[in-house]
Structure 1
Amino acid sequence: MKNGLEDVIAAETQLSDVDGERGRLVIRGVSLDDLVPGETYEGVAASLLDGLMERPVTATTLRSLLGAARVDLYSHITRLDEGLLALPPVDAMRAMIARLGDGQDLDTALHLMAAPAVFLPAILRLQAGQRPVTPDESLSQSADILRMLTDRMPSAEQTAALDAYLVTISDHGLNASTFASRVVASTQAGLTSSVLAAIGALKGPLHGGAPGPVLDMLDAIGTEANAHAWLTDALDRGERLMGFGHRIYRVRDPRADALKNALSPLVRSGQVDRERMALAASVERAALAILKERKPDRPLDVNVEFYTALLLEALGFERQAFTGVFAIGRTVGWIAHAREQALNGRLIRPRSIYTGPLPKVA
């Protein structure tokens, strides 16, 4: 972090870069196009944490350490009382994470990375009247999440699809939740404090709470034949088309195509509702055509929310759980940014511009 006013507008980072003009996302020097498919959650997590913890970890080592952390955290499930289970899943998950220690070491980081992966499936199952499923430390993070959610072993295609999602959303520049994480870390508070602040920012509907309404839109449209008329009427009412447009990207969000491609094996193998996918494709085509006609000077294309909703639905997550799944993938990015800030930065103290009344001069 630099001195003076630059503290307010920029943070130096080696973690990720978002190029909105070119539609490019770089994570630790590698383009997202080269990370997905192929990279695992453990692989991208090891890359993001490289040089930031007290000892290095490889993807293989991280898989083993995360498995052990998931097993260790399962004992916390007994603390999920009726009050917590009455909350939305992300709020119950956040409350459980708040009970963890607030260190700066690798063990704290591992437990924070494993916590939402264990807590969210257990919360969802208990809220549905089902028994939670114990973790299997021999599995990868993605495979175990799906197994704990459904109580059955996921297919290779399902595991690869969730890996692709977790890799895709692992880090994305200085977004609202990551900035919140860095602000807290700049005070030298622990990693748990940083992650809790980030989850608080993530749950807002303008950030991580947005994918669910994409499915609401598809449900309302219903059939491919209704797409054009429904979307036109929505725009006439001044409504936003969910899953289209982005604050940073002036062209197509590269994460959208990464997730669209991750869905393809599920479609080919018959593990996803093909009618749902056909409806989504029709809505995408119609929306892009209408937006181009209505707003020719404003580039609006598909964003990550559109295919996030379709992918997570295909994997068996209810839409009220989407923000929590987002947190599973993004936690390692928050931790990496928090550590980078704590090691290399200074206290983040933006200047405010006072616009209120001034005292009268005597």
Structure 2
Amino acid sequence: MEVARGLEGVLFTESRMCFIDGEKGRLYYFGYPIQELAEKSSFEEVTFLLLHGRLPKKEELEAFTRRLAQRRALPEPLLDSLRRYPREAHPMSILRTAVSELGLLDPTEGEITQEALYEKGLDLVARFATIVAANKRFREGKEPIPPREDLSHAANFLYMANGTEPSPEQARLMDAALILHAEHGFNASTFTAIAAFSTETDLYSAITAAVASLKGPRHGGANEAVMKMIQEIGSPERAREWVQKKLAQKERIMGMGHRVYKAFDPRAGVLERLARLVAEKHGHSKAYQILKIVEEEAGKVLNPRGIYPNVDFYSGVVYSDLGFGLEFFTPIFAVARISGWVGHILEYKALDNRLLRPDARYIGELDRPYIPLEAR
């Protein structure tokens, strides 16, 4: 049998949730183009779509939005724990630990019926934003701000994180960013969630595993690396020379290239427009200028090879404008992706939840003689 390195090209299940056309740069959630959803929808509506497989009617969306808003508050024991967590710890490590603790605090943790998974999934979608916002406040030496039920998910997240109610423009920026990151097929963290849940473990354990996977710099952590690249370049005037040097040394340009896309990542196209709005609002953001030069200069060499900006390339500029330091870029990713993780677990559970058990080609020796310890 041929070894599929990184499981590339291996089909292990069927799904209606996400279609990715890497050759043409297309992405769909349940058949809806991502560009259209990012422009016209809301995170709550997209979450309903990912959990139900269809867009809601008006009254359904209103009821669903209320249900999510009512679940935002965190249990007091978890807030107490968040106060005690080391402030210097990575926010993804804190999120991972907090999700695990939510399982400890749920007396019905082990229930994995479709109905129980759905209800627990709604709790997690609602509370991820509250956990990340509370951690940001504690990290700044401030007390967390209780959630408000009268704000949208995106607006409430910004309100809890920054202490002031966001402008409609800021709320829309965050809403679109969350939509773009909500789902992306069987990426590493989603596959990790499914692999864990296929053992019939509880939802909290599966999501904890997904958070741990997303933390890696080759997955969710890539957007942090892009901002570090911007900081290293320092000014637009240095960008071209910096890119030329990196390419000459055959080093990676962070935020460019994707395992799936051989064309421009459609999410990156939407985020580039959002980043441009941010730049115009602030009178030409230096970070945006640097990225545009990097994209242009690197593209001369990389585009012919099918390497283009991915979703991480411009997201950091948007998050930075919304008041977040780079250490919170990946947690924001998780605030969005939790809806996709839960949706996939619900779908896989309904399908057959077959235990994942891949194999490997053995390339070691056999029948090696055992040598006693004193004779080695």
Q: TM-score, normalised by structure 1?
A: 0.90
Partner of 1:286: 297
Once residues 10 and 31 of structure 1 are traced to their aligned partners in structure 2, the CA distance between those partners, rounded to angstroms, is 24
Report the residue type matching 1:332 in the other structure.
S
Corresponding residue for residue 304 of structure 1: 311
Structure 2: give runs of 5+ residues left out of the alignment. 1-6, 370-376
Structure 1 residue 318 corresponds to structure 2 residue 314: no
Describe the superposition over 1:99-150 as per-residue Cα deviations: whole angstroms up to 9, x where unpaired: 1233442321111112220011111111111221111012111001100111
When residues 224 and 267 of structure 1 are mapped into structure 2, their CA distance, relative to the original with a 3 A threshold, is closer
Distance change >3 Å, CA 58–CA 180, structure 1 → 2:
farther
* Contact 1:74-1:135 within 8 A present in 2 as well: no
CA contact 1:256–1:304 (8 Å) conserved in 2: yes
* Residue 237 of structure 1: aligned partner: 249
What letter corresponds to residue 347 of structure 1 in structure 2?
Answer: L
Q: 1:243 to 1:330 in 2, by over 3 A?
A: same
Asked if the contact 2:217/2:225 (under 8 Å) is kept, the reply is no
Against the structure 1 CA distance between its residues 273 and 59, is the aligned structure 2 distance closer, same or farther, given a 3 Å change threshold?
Answer: farther
User: Residue 98 of structure 1: SS of its match in structure 2?
Assistant: helix
User: Where does residue 236 of structure 2 map in the other structure?
Assistant: 224
**Matching residue within 158, 162, 174 for 1:162:** 174
SS in 2 for 1:138: coil
Is the aligned partner of 1:63 residue 2:65? yes
> Match for residue 349 of structure 1?
357
Amino acid at match of 1:147: Y
SS of the equivalent of 1:70 reads: coil
The alpha-carbon distance between structure 1 residues 337 and 144, as it changes in their structure 2 partners (threshold 3 A), is same
Secondary structure of 1:17's partner?
Answer: strand
> Shift of residue 325 of structure 1?
0.7
Q: Deviations over 1:198-249 (max 9, x none)?
A: 1111111110011111111112222222111111112223321111111110
Aligned-pair CA distance for 1:266:
3.6
Q: Does the aligned pair in 1 maintain the 2:74–2:131 contact within 8 Å? A: no
Change (3 A) 1:259 1:15: same
Q: Which has the larger displacement, 272-281 or 249-258?
A: 272-281
Point out 4+ residue stretches in structure 1 off by more than 4 angstroms. 72-75
Could you tell me the percent identity over the aligned residues? 33
1:272–1:314 CA contact under 8 A, matched in 2? no
Q: Distance in 2 between the 1:279 and 1:123 partners?
A: 30
Report the CA distance between 1:33 and its aligned residue: 1.9
- Tell me, in whole angstroms, the C-alpha distance in 2 between the residues paired with 1:85 and 1:176: 28
Q: Who is 2:274 aligned against? A: 262
Q: In the aligned structure 1, how far is the partner of 2:173 from the partner of 2:77?
A: 28
Describe the SS at the equivalent of 1:18: strand
Structure 1 residue 264, shift from structure 2 partner: 4.1
Which amino acid letter does the alignment assign opposite residue 25 of structure 2? G
What aligned pairs does 1:14-163 form with structure 2 within 5 A after superposition? 14-50=16-52, 58-73=60-75, 76-100=78-102, 101=106, 102=109, 103-104=111-112, 105=116, 106-163=118-175
Question: What is the CA deviation profile of residues 251-278 of structure 1, one whole-angstrom value per residue up to 9, with x for unaligned ones?
Answer: 111110111223344444x258633322
Moved more, 183-192 or 140-149: 183-192
The answer to whether the 8 A contact 2:83-2:138 is kept is: no
How many Å separate the matches in 2 of 1:61 and 1:272? Answer: 40
Distance change (3 Å), C-alpha of 1:266 and 1:60? farther
TM-score (norm. length: structure 2): 0.86
CA distance in 1, matches of 2:143, 2:282: 25
The CA distance in 2 between the partners of 1:74 and 1:239, in whole Å, is 47
Please, which of 225, 235, 239 is the counterpart of residue 213 of structure 1? 225
Which protein has greater RCO, CA pairs closer than 8 Å, 6+ apart? 1
For 2:362 and 2:143, locate their aligned partners in 1 and report how far apart those are by CA, in whole Å.
Answer: 54
Amino acid at match of 1:215: M
- What count of residue pairs does the alignment treat as equivalent? 347
The unaligned stretches of length 5 or more in structure 1 are none
User: Which residue of structure 2 lines up, in the alignment, with residue 246 of structure 1?
Assistant: 258
Q: Structure 2 residue aligned with 1:184, among 180, 196, 206? A: 196
CA separation of 1:166 and 1:73: change in aligned 2, threshold 3 A: farther
Residues 175-200 of structure 1, C-alpha deviation per residue, up to 9 Å, x if partnerless?
Answer: 11000111122122222122111111
CA distance in 1, matches of 2:270, 2:77: 36
- Native 8 Å contact 1:90 1:323 kept in 2: yes
| Distance in 1, Cα, partners of 2:19 & 2:76 | 35
Distance 1:28 1:327 in 2: 20
